[in-house]
Amino acid sequence: MRRLLCQVCGRPADRNREGVLWLIGGEAPEHTGRTDALTTSHPPLCEPCAVRSVRACPHLRPRATALRVRAHTLVGVRGALYRPGRPRPAAWTVAGVAYDDARIRWVRAGQLVVRLESYTVVTLAAPCP
């Protein structure tokens, strides 16, 4: 995530003057040029892998939105959240936890979480279904 590599092929994510390419599942934000932050634990993509992902991924197939992100910040981690227990901590749930959250020391992180702060909704070269 820090190096902005494609989550599928590992090469550099697609970048142009509008920003880095990210895909989100679900409804598109209402406007382009939004500054409302979104959070995701999914890294960016290169455009060929983004097109293939929309076709192949059951989560993205019904509704995928491509974003060009101009500003992003690493804000936390997603992983197994533990709680105190005897004789050792006990797994409790899976959660996203911000770096400044006191529970951060109880998370076994599996993914970084990034806040997408300034983005524009775009169309992929091959349209999303």
pLDDT tens for the 129 residues of the chain, in order:
889 999 999 999 999 999 999 998 876 555 445 556 789 999 999 999 999 999 998 888 888 899 999 999 999 999 999 999 899 999 999 999 999 999 999 999 999 999 998 899 998 875 544
- The closest of 10, 14, 83 to 47, measured between CA atoms, is 14
Report the pLDDT value the prediction gives residue 62, as an integer from 0 to 100.
Answer: 81
Q: Which parts of the chain fold into alpha helices (H)? A: 47-56
> What's the DSSP call for residue 100?
T
Task: Specify the pLDDT at position 98.
Answer: 96
Reduced to 3 states (helix: H, G, I; strand: E, B; else coil), residue 105 is: helix
Distance between CA 101 and CA 91 in Å, rounded?
18
How far is C-alpha 5 from the chain's CA centre? 12
